[in-house]
Amino acid sequence: METTQCLIIGGGPAGYTAAIYASRAALQPVLYEGNAPGGQLTMTTLVENYPGFAGGVDANELMAAMREQAVRLGADIRRGAITEIDLSQRPFPVKLSDGKELSAETIIIATGAVARWLGLPSEQKFRGLGVSACATCDGFFYRRKDVAVVGGGDTACGEALYLAGLCRKVYLIVRRDVLRASVAVQERVKAAENIEILWNCNTREILGDASGVTGARIERKDGEVFDIPVDGFFVAIGHHPVSELFSKWVKTDAEGYIVTDGRSSATNVPGVFAAGDVQDPDYRQAITAAASGCRAALDAERFLKK
Ligand code: NDP
């Protein structure tokens, strides 16, 4: 059976950065990047907040460059997913979607998180054409325009406040008559002059044409149906960490995020580390994911040296 000192699972900023560092530490890492390499960032277009690119950088180009950098330094990056894993014994046996098996001395889990979506066909149709799950990534494109945010949690309220600083008007579409967000954040949202909360409302359909989103059709609980004109539609109804495969052994919180030890990337299983959005419910940025990938590779290197 093939063996590796360091198996990295996930092809986003965390996984590729872990591969860069693990390669430079001569761990000869093997990285499985899934079937949609690049991670969540590839859902957006221009990335303007990744340091080092004064004029911004195309999201796909950024991910391709990270990948290429890891390959140039010696990482063995492969398409495909992990289908089975056993973290009860080290080295850890792993089965792969290509039918191969390998055994890993250390594992870095960098499988990320996926945004929850409403599940409307029009939402799918306009993804990248006005529908987004990340205001920090895409909000800038709607400067001085009208937008809508769906959700009533900390993410939705945070996104609404962020967008309120950029946009002319922000509709916050909330399905109940209360917000779930922390009180301080709720107060800021309610005090913002250009945020209108649409209470007890659900989105029936996102409206648009060939140029992208033009509005949304809303249904209030009392049955009233009305349209709001918006250019951007942000879905912020929560994220879902991709941790199911590991949660039998690795400690997760109530939401499924992998719990790491203090400032390190160590999980409760010696030799297993977690990086990026799969262990981060708060920041969820490419740069923070990349930084945690760096930490995980350094932690794996130190673990192997012990
Ligand atoms: P949450 O699960 O807290 O909130 C999800 C929101 O979306 C709720 O208002 C929920 O409504 C609503 N919702 C869910 N499904 C639908 C749907 N199908 N249609 C319409 N609305 C829907 O997710 P968040 O991403 O906001 O937060 C996740 C965690 O991260 C929380 O613990 C939060 O506190 C934390 N967080 C912390 C931040 C911070 O401290 N700075 C920033 C962001 C997040 P309902 O209430 O009716 O269920």
Q: How far apart are CA 28 and CA 126, in angstroms?
A: 41
Range(s) of the domain holding residue 255: 2-114+239-305
Whether 69 and 172 map to the same domain: the answer is no
Helix (H, G, I), strand (E, B) or coil at 184: helix
Rounded distance from Cα 57 to ligand 1 centre (Å): 29
Q: How far apart are CA 226 and CA 223, in angstroms?
A: 10
The reported pTM is 0.78
Strands 225-229 and 212-220: antiparallel
Residue 30: closest CA among 93, 78, 85: 78
Q: Which CATH number characterizes residue 210's domain?
A: 3.50.50.60
* Catalytic pick among 76, 86, 98, 137: 137
Q: Among 235, 266, 294, identify where a domain stops.
A: 235
Whether 284 and 142 map to the same domain: the answer is no
> Partners of 76 in the beta sheet?
30
Total number of domains in the chain: 2
DSSP 190: H
Q: Looking at ligand 1, which residue's alpha carbon is closest to its atom 29?
A: 281
Please tell me the predicted confidence (pLDDT) of residue 25.
98
Query: Is residue 157 among the annotated active site residues?
Result: no
Please tell me the predicted confidence (pLDDT) of residue 220.
98
Most distant CA pair in the chain, distance: 65
Please tell me the predicted confidence (pLDDT) of residue 136.
84
Average pLDDT over residues 219-244: 96
From 20-24, 45-49, 212-216, the region with the lowest mean pLDDT: 45-49
**Average pLDDT value for the chain:** 95
Please tell me the predicted confidence (pLDDT) of residue 44.
66
Measure the N-to-C terminal CA separation of the chain; round to a whole number of Å. Answer: 25
Q: Among 235, 262, 294, identify where a domain stops.
A: 235
Rounded distance from Cα 133 to ligand 1 centre (Å): 13
Rounded distance from Cα 297 to ligand 1 centre (Å): 31
Please tell me the predicted confidence (pLDDT) of residue 43.
65
173 φ, ψ (degrees, to nearest 5): -95, 115
Q: Among 207, 235, 263, identify where a domain stops.
A: 235
- Within 10 angstroms of residue 19's Cβ, the number of other Cβ atoms is 33
pLDDT at residue 72 greater than cutoff 90: yes
